[in-house]
Structure 1
Amino acid sequence: MTSTTHEETAAQHPAVFRRVVVCGALADVCASPDRDLVRNGIDLVARASCAEMLVALHEDAPDAVLVPAQASSGSLAEVIDVVHRWASIPVLVGIHPGEPGRGDAERALDAGANSLVTLPVTAEELRRALAGLGFAAHASTQTVQVGRLRVDAVAHRALLDELEIGLTHREFSILHFLAARSPRHVPAGDIARQFSPSADPDAAARAVRVTIGSIRAKLARTADHGDAVIQTVRGVGYRVNA
């Protein structure tokens, strides 16, 4: 039997995901399958156009956006400026390899792009680009503190009011995922897509709800009002508000 190292397990089950919204079809932008994206801690969401992406910035709550240099029918500089002003998040611009992309690269940098990636980008390349923007190269090295709750992915410990919560690996991963995105709401379907990418979406979302119920029960047993740490907004999703 082949043993699985701690590093391999962490790579297969990242504790925190970075959401990147892209303009255009995922197949045109990304060269990696969903499973590789999951292993690299990336939640890639497609919007059909730059205009649709801008309208949905608040709803999607991305950590960064990826705009192909040729995707904008208007001014690339305007798109970048709006993202910076409305969401205060980095803009990665995708360019084509070789000589055709040189002009696009110069135009993107002049327009205020935070980083350039060559299309189609792989999950590993995208992870490195995000790391270059200041995002952790491996989410599993992060400790997240939200009020009374601290989730330490290095030690694999979660504490509420300094009292340790006994969680399974899946429960810990989901709690860390929610805490890292606080105060944003995360739909059950989004959580399911990260941790069960190959499962039936409806069944996986139901499993997420059951897991969150189990986490709430353990939070309640650990400290007073612990069951209120994970809040639910019907039709929107879950968030940590400790």
Structure 2
Amino acid sequence: MSVNEHRILVVEDEPVINQAVTDRLRGSGYEVVQAWDGPGAVAQFAETSPDLVLLDVMLPGFDGHEVCRRIQAERPVPVLMLTARDDEADILVGLGVGADDYLTKPFRMRELVARVAALLRRVDRAAELAARSAIQLGDLRVDAAARRAWVADTEVHLTPTEFDLLLFLAASPGVVLTRENLYAEVWGWPGASGTRTVDSHVKALRAKIGADRVRTVHGVGYALEPRSAT
């Protein structure tokens, strides 16, 4: 899919920021629709079916976390959240309701456009991922085509990013993958400093599949540890 075929929903209650982001994305070749509050964002999402949502956390009506929760329940979509606080608790809440990445205000427009492009590249790789065979590691099963995962006989409900992270780790069981490598492969943005994003998603993934399955190698990265079925 080309850039011009991607539609982005920009949700930001500050008119100056909303318009500046919209103008920059349109200048980069994207189709952009806008919303300025929580209810408007949900309505625009249903009406326009965007390929990506750029979502401010603090919104009138209801906040960005609630917007993210509602739109992800309707249809999985990449969400890049904008937050005024670089606070891990706030970030984990956003990731927990389905956000894929975040930017802390004030941000550079060049970085925003780069992250949008990276998330959309991941969407375009979905067909390639779906062609992979299911991976069985002990009692953990990851089905790339169906985008579903199970621990023993219990299905694990993962966000799109958590699933992609698990899939990439599971493809090389026991191999230590650096944070930078994970950010480049899962988020599609090589050379960027997204280690905090990686750490937050790993923490969320551990909570769902078991903390002992993902080994931390301090100062390096993470490895998915095979575990025998019991």
TM-score band by shorter chain is 0.3 to 0.5
Which structure is higher in RCO with an 8 Å CA cutoff and minimum separation 6?
A: 1
Larger radius of gyration: 1
TM-score, structure 2 length as denominator? 0.43
TM-score, structure 1 length as denominator? 0.41
